[in-house]
């Protein structure tokens, strides 16, 4: 232990600087208290009601309008509130209520599905957080056009997704406390759905956001492992295996080892197995890219925006969150999460453009750019997953290419498969989960483009289309007979502006998508 100048003592390691606090979740605004009930809360200083029609009020809003002698309807007209889906109108001191939030639910598509309800919950969280840090709110669930059995559970889920703040390094912490009382006729069923299922998905999303937001100084490969292992402590039917540098080299994972050569922080392969079905049932394999910080290596990135490369581990973070959610609700399926972890740094030991790496599969890769490193660590990880666990399906997820972001912006993640029918199935998974994907092609010519004159393949420099080229590198290491899904989340994992279910910054994208895939596969 070495004393560091300043007010505090810290533990200084040869692999980086980390304190216990930096690997423990500390998001003051990540939790709210939810109560599902059939009766109103007399202590509530805030009421939330829904409006499908701004001219003809019904349900709780109509009752409040009557109590205000029509004042609410007058205010709705005065503020040009049209009740369109997700629109909000915040009123104070009306109908005996300190704070009244009206949320529009008029949806052109007709009935509200689960993601719609979750978006409404997120809208409420965003609106209430902007107006008050401490409150006690009643949300009246009485007039929603939906076939979902427990709409209040999904509204609470969306609220919890949005109710997140990473303020660990701020002097002034978020200190607000919120109690959310969801008034609904099926309170018991809604409470069970939220507390034994959806809450765990929200916690998995928050875990992914934590990991992607933490500064790279503190979230190197071994710190990632410690943080995730702490999160899984006490979770049933979980086995955790950590491959260190000795194991990685022994298995011949030259690509994973090579990416980490330039860093003082050795790479790791974190494997988390959840057994919720028979031991002999083939698992679903989820593989996530975990570059804990990406400088580009010798092919150094420009300084502009490099700070955001602390989130280049978002794929691995999402895998951790998805496996956590499945295990906590005790889903009836076997799932194995693989998280190859490395820090891509330039040094005298770093790999160079022109070097050749030998992979576990035996396929050699010529390095054209050390900044095309994600596909390298995935190459060894997906091969290991197939060799050791014989999965029935494999999905890999990664912040892989700017090409995917340029093609699809932040509206969709790119999905690439060998089978277009599987891509369409993944689009349906995206629709149900609220995390949408759009197919990009994988053509035989893409495999021709990555052939190397001195090795079996090259990792980049093959021209356009960049997202498909990156997928082709990974696909080289996946059995052609295995159902395989490649998700490129480079455009959706980190946003400069918040949305309905997430503040700006890390979205924890992929946890909800993979969670829905797990549910579908379990059926």
The answer to whether residue 21 sits within a structural domain is no
The reported pLDDT for the residue numbered 132 is: 56
The number of folded domains in the chain is: 2
Between 14 and 214, where is the model more confident?
214
Arithmetic mean of pLDDT, 275-282: 97
Could you tell me which residues are beta bridge partners of residue 255? Answer: none
Claim to verify: residue 166 and residue 63 sit in the same structural domain: yes
Q: Give the integer Cα–Cα distance in Å for 522 and 283.
A: 10
pLDDT band at 9 (very low <50, low <70, confident <90, very high): very low
Between 133 and 297, where is the model more confident?
297
pTM of the model: 0.94
The reported pLDDT for the residue numbered 175 is: 65
Catalytic positions = 301, 375
Q: Give the integer Cα–Cα distance in Å for 160 and 157.
A: 5
Q: Are 119 and 78 in contact (CB under 8 A)?
A: no
The reported pLDDT for the residue numbered 18 is: 42
Among the candidates 128, 163, 195, a domain finishes at 195
pLDDT at residue 288 above 60?
Answer: yes
What is the share, in percent, of the chain residues with pLDDT greater than 70? 93
pLDDT at residue 5 above 50?
Answer: no
pLDDT band at 95 (very low <50, low <70, confident <90, very high): confident
The answer to whether residue 11 sits within a structural domain is no
Claim to verify: residue 367 and residue 451 sit in the same structural domain: yes
Claim to verify: residue 77 and residue 221 sit in the same structural domain: no
In this predicted model, what pLDDT tens digit does every residue of 322-352 receive, in sequence order? 999 999 999 999 999 999 999 999 999 999 9
Q: Are 413 and 404 in contact (CB under 8 A)?
A: yes
Claim to verify: residue 354 and residue 260 sit in the same structural domain: yes
Dihedral, CA atoms, 474, 480, 484, 486, nearest 10 degrees? 30
The answer to whether residue 200 sits within a structural domain is no
Report the CATH number that the domain containing residue 311 is assigned in CATH: 3.40.630.10
In this predicted model, what pLDDT tens digit does every residue of 105-151 receive, in sequence order? 998 878 999 999 999 999 999 999 866 567 889 999 988 999 999 99
Which 3 state secondary structure label does DSSP give 248? helix
pLDDT at residue 16 above 60?
Answer: no
Claim to verify: residue 185 and residue 251 sit in the same structural domain: no
Which residue range(s) make up the domain with 71? Answer: 33-195
Report the CATH number that the domain containing residue 103 is assigned in CATH: 3.40.220.10
Q: Give the integer Cα–Cα distance in Å for 499 and 417.
A: 28
pLDDT at residue 513 above 50?
Answer: yes
Rounded alpha-carbon distances, angstroms, from residue 421 to 124, 191, 415: 37, 37, 12
Claim to verify: residue 308 and residue 178 sit in the same structural domain: no
In this predicted model, what pLDDT tens digit does every residue of 164-204 receive, in sequence order? 999 999 988 776 678 999 999 999 999 999 999 999 999 99
In this predicted model, what pLDDT tens digit does every residue of 72-85 receive, in sequence order? 999 999 999 999 99
Q: Which long-range contacts (CB under 8 A, 24 or more apart) does 70-78 make?
A: 71/95, 72/100, 72/102, 76/51, 76/102
The answer to whether residue 416 sits within a structural domain is yes
Claim to verify: residue 237 and residue 142 sit in the same structural domain: no
The DSSP 8-state label assigned to residue 502 in this structure reads B
């Amino acid at each position: 232990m070495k004393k560091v100048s300043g007010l505090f003592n810290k533990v200084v390691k040869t692999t980086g600087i980390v304190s216990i606090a930096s690997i423990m979740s500390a998001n003051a605004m990540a939790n709210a208290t939810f109560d599902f009930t059939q009766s109103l809360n007399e202590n509530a200083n805030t009421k939330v009601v829904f409006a499908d029609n701004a001219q003809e009020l019904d349900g709780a809003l109509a009752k409040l309008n009557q109590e205000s002698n029509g004042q609410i309807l007058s205010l709705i007209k005065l503020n040009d509130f049209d009740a369109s889906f997700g629109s909000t109108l915040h009123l104070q001191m009306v109908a005996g209520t300190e704070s009244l939030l009206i949320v529009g639910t008029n949806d052109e598509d007709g009935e509200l599905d689960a993601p719609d309800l979750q978006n409404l919950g997120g809208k409420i969280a965003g609106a209430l957080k902007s107006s008050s840090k401490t409150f006690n709110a009643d949300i009246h669930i009485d007039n929603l056009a939906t076939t979902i059995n427990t709409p209040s559970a999904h509204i609470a889920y969306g609220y919890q997704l949005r109710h997140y703040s990473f303020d660990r390094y701020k002097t002034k912490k978020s200190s607000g406390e919120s109690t959310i009382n969801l008034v609904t006729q099926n309170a018991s069923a809604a409470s069970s759905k939220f507390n034994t299922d959806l809450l765990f998905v929200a916690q998995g999303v928050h875990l992914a956001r934590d990991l992607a937001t933490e500064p790279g100084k503190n979230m190197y490969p071994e710190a990632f492992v410690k943080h995730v292992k702490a999160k899984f402590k006490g979770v049933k039917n979980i086995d955790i295996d950590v491959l260190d540098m000795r194991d990685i080299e022994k298995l011949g994972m030259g690509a994973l080892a090579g990416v980490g050569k330039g860093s003082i922080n050795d790479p790791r392969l974190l494997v988390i197995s959840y057994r919720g079905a028979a031991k002999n049932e083939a698992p679903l394999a989820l593989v996530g890219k975990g570059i804990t910080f990406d400088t580009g290596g010798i092919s150094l990135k420009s300084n502009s925006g490099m700070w955001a490369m602390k989130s280049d581990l978002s794929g691995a973070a999402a895998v951790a969150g998805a496996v956590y959610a499945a295990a906590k609700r005790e889903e009836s399926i076997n799932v194995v999460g693989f998280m190859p972890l490395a820090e891509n740094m330039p040094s005298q030991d770093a790999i160079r453009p022109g070097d050749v790496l030998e992979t576990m599969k035996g396929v050699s890769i010529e390095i054209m750019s050390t900044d095309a490193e994600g596909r390298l660590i995935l190459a060894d990880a997906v091969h290991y997953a197939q060799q050791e666990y014989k999965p029935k399906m494999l999905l890999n997820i990664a912040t892989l290419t700017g090409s995917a972001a340029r093609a699809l912006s932040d509206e969709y993640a790119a999905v690439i498969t060998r089978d277009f029918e599987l891509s369409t199935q993944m689009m349906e998974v995206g629709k149900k989960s609220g995390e949408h994907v759009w197919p990009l092609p994988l053509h035989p010519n893409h495999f021709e483009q990555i052939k190397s004159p001195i090795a079996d393949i090259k990792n980049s420099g093959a021209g356009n289309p960049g997202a498909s080229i990156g997928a082709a590198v990974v696909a080289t290491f996946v059995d052609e007979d295995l159902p395989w899904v490649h998700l490129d989340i480079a455009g959706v994992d980190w946003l400069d502006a918040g949305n309905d279910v997430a503040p700006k910054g890390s979205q924890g994208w992929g946890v909800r998508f993979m969670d829905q895939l797990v549910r579908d596969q379990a059926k």
